[in-house]
Structure 1
């Protein structure tokens, strides 16, 4: 998806450089003040933790350590969620939010460079996630974490929730991927029909040449597909510009070097995309022993509602609920962070309170 972000960035950064940098500095100062945590039982700490044999960045923020703890599993691949901290500030009043730059992402990637990322595949990330989970549980003294996964991170999130109910109190997926080993082709065919209806012959020819079996795509083809699906949908492209790129550019937590590093990390990590296309969620299992939630953008063309709902309907879980975030494409939780928080408080929090995680 790096090509998509680069295209959106060019549109946002069309202003003269000097004026843009001055505005960026002023905006970042305002957002930095918003991010301050001063409550007596709050936490705001970040740094590198040795996970899976390499140093990986983790941020832990919240206003009350008595609140449930969220472990975010970011997507991309290689797209750190740290850039959204100022957009999701309100979440930290109700939850302690743990944001982890997985190998291949953000500060973890910048710290070690490509040669320092080591083994890079879904199985390695799964083992990393379990190590990070246990680190956070020990650090905060809690028995279980609330898993919140978005976009490609939901592939890893489902595995964690399915296989390790002893570590997690519930699963929340948003921008939920449901990959059926290359057999679920709803998103592909929907894109073909949309391009045909819009008369976009060049893009239609490029997508048709890829073929519908995503499990057979190369890394380059995977990236090209996502570039087309994102740039040809007005709401998705607007979200890229106004939510993703603006969050990245104005984040008070990232230096200009780290902004550049964000793109490098995503570019390097794109190799994970085709690997994930071979996953078959139905074969891996639809039984979950923890509460299961999916909150999806109602206009998402990258991970459409229909495949996510079809999988959800087959899930067996102690509690489960599916909800739509209106007027949202992909990145729904970050486009409408308050609406997403409302769902966490009204749907998820009662399930946590009914079976409290307790202290470790």
Structure 2
């Protein structure tokens, strides 16, 4: 969802002055030191694993292999969570985290390019996720993984959690998408109101022309919608600049060429948003046999908390909890990683381990 905005920003930075490049290198070096893992019984490994007939990048990091294991389902689509490592490394004190660059994303896309990704649809990603799950279970010797899905990844995350309780100890959705078969227009209607109030006549005309029903949108219109939503809201736009763009630009894992590939992956993967336009989460089922959590930004205008809360209220699960992350837009867990890990430790970990948070 960030490709349209981020591409223009990073493109302007990929041919900068020598001084700016030097500053970037200093920040990248500091971030590389910041995310280093050296604790006893820790793990820090990454590389390509054969998944679904292609090589896909998997990173496994954590300071104690005795901690619960998280499988992150990235957003975007096509947006690798590896760029946020300097912001989220503190999570690795309490969880072992598997960050998977699925087909069409991150290092997986960079290695194979568009022609090396194979088919890209939700059934294929679902099968890939199950293969990744089995690989991690065998590699780490654990019975179940905790699903943590963000943004567009929550579409896949819900299906995994709903259909495979034998593999997952719980589900955490943040920036939770509720597509509702194309019926939910909360984000669209609020965007129209903001554009009208700001007197943005040209942007308003563009939004009105595309209409509220995302099932009729083209890939280009989906990208335009995301851009209009995020740039018309001050908190979201600030998050894009201070959290997302800065994380991309100062990522210790990504060269300038790597950043270009990262953004190309997101643009190429936008086709998934058109495919997802008719997904109906309620029709697929609201019964979950595992603990179920949604942690949403209180100011998220792209995946608003109201539809997520309505869906949550209909969910049946052995344990469930909904919480708002304060002063947060979309990318809530990355803007406020401290609030997110506090929720993970006080709400989620006790539910999946049966043990209260240690004093």
Normalising TM by the smaller chain, what interval?
Answer: over 0.9
Contact map agreement 1:60 1:98 (CA 8 A) in 2: yes
CA distance in 2 between counterparts of 1:14 and 1:39 reads: 36
CA deviation string 1:262-288 (max 9, x = no partner): 111011111111111110001001000
Equivalence for 1:235: 235
Equivalence for 2:291: 291
CA deviation string 1:224-250 (max 9, x = no partner): 111111111111111111111111111
Size of the aligned set, in residue pairs, is 355
Query: Aligned runs of 1:60-75 on 2, under 5 Å?
Result: 60-75=60-75
CA distance in 2 between counterparts of 1:138 and 1:278 reads: 35
Equivalence for 1:212: 212
Q: What's the CA shift for 1:16? A: 4.7
Equivalence for 2:115: 115
The reply on whether 1:17 has 2:17 as its aligned counterpart is: yes
Equivalence for 1:4: 5
CA deviation string 1:24-62 (max 9, x = no partner): 111111111111111120000000000000000000000
Relative to the length of structure 1, the TM-score reads 0.96
Secondary structure at the residue paired with 1:89?
A: helix
CA deviation string 1:110-154 (max 9, x = no partner): 111100000101111011001001100110000000000000000
Relative to the length of structure 2, the TM-score reads 0.96
Equivalence for 1:33: 33
Equivalence for 2:301: 301
Secondary structure at the residue paired with 2:67?
A: coil
Query: Aligned runs of 1:177-326 on 2, under 5 Å?
Result: 177-326=177-326
Query: Aligned runs of 1:42-61 on 2, under 5 Å?
Result: 42-61=42-61
CA distance in 1 between counterparts of 2:234 and 2:188 reads: 17
CA distance in 2 between counterparts of 1:279 and 1:15 reads: 41
Contact map agreement 1:292 1:319 (CA 8 A) in 2: yes
Q: CA RMSD in A?
A: 1.5
Structure 1: segments with no counterpart, 5+ residues: none
CA distance in 2 between counterparts of 1:30 and 1:46 reads: 20
Contact map agreement 1:8 1:240 (CA 8 A) in 2: no
CA distance in 1 between counterparts of 2:104 and 2:14 reads: 29
CA distance in 2 between counterparts of 1:97 and 1:260 reads: 25
Q: Which runs of 4+ in 1 moved over 2 A?
A: 6-11, 13-17
